[in-house]
Amino acid sequence: NNNSSDSRGALIVLEGLDRCGKTSQSSRLLQYLEGLGHAVESWRFPDRTTSVGQMISSYLANKSHLDDHTIHLLFSANRWEKRLLMESKLKSGTTLIIDRYSYSGVAFSSAKGLDMKWCKSPEMGLLAPDLVLYLDISPEKAAERGGYGEERYEQLEFQKKVAQSYNMLNDASWKIIDATLPIEDVEKQLTETVLDCVETCRKGKPLSELWL
């Protein structure tokens, strides 16, 4: 088994535009790793279950209005309130698969015109992902998949700006995956990369912090 006391879990993040397939791929990854006997959990941000998360949820549903900076800081606070738990899970050997993280935070807020450096600053000190899987799809193709919901941000013009912001964020931890391939092909690419990452972390790669 991969769970000796001195080995840690991997922090794996899925990012991408709305309708890129993040959510179905994270549940496939979860099942896959569980099937191999790994300790693994799947999380998502925003975490709408906390009181900060409920404020975010109401904002996204257009039930409340907040200044752009204010909502940005709430998204960040929603990650900070999970940081301790995240670190202890990882240190105890559990791999976390996270649907959206700080990159969504920066990409969506800077797409509104907020300064990117300002957007990154409240993320400083959060745990840095070991791997960011970016599910790459054009905004037009994502829109064709149909069913943007009713939430704020789920509009083609805005998603185009988000895509541009994402393009400025990719660093060494990123792996860009063609999200237009058939779902099984996307999954295959993800599982290969993820296994590699889990192994590297298990062998003692140190945890690090944003912003790298």
Q: Which of 148, 153, 158, 174 binds ligand 2DT (CB under 6 A)?
A: 153
Q: Which of 12, 60, 90, 131 binds ligand 2DT (CB under 6 A)?
A: 60
Q: Which is nearer to ligand 2DT, 106 or 194 (CB)?
A: 106
Three-state SS annotation for the chain: CCCCCCCCCCEEEEECCCCCCHHHHHHHHHHHHHHCCCCEEEEECCCCCCHHHHHHHHHHCCCCCCCHHHHHHHHHHHHHCCHHHHHHHHHCCCEEEEECCHHHHHHHHHHCCCCHHHHHHHHCCCECCCEEEEEECCHHHHHHCCCCCCCCCCCHHHHHHHHHHHHCCCCCCEEEEECCCCHHHHHHHHHHHHHHHHHHHHCCCCCCECCC
Is 46 among the residues that bind ligand 2DT (CB under 6 A)? yes
Instruction: Kindly indicate which of the ranges 84-92, 104-112, 131-139, 168-176 contains the residues binding ligand 2DT, using the contact rule CB under 6 A.
Output: 104-112
Nearer to ligand 2DT, 131 or 198 (CB): 131
Closer residue to ligand 2DT, CB minimum distance, 46 or 93:
46
The least CB distance from residue 100 to ligand 2DT, in Å, is: 4
Binding site for ligand 2DT (CB under 6 A): 45-46, 60, 75, 100, 104-105, 108, 153
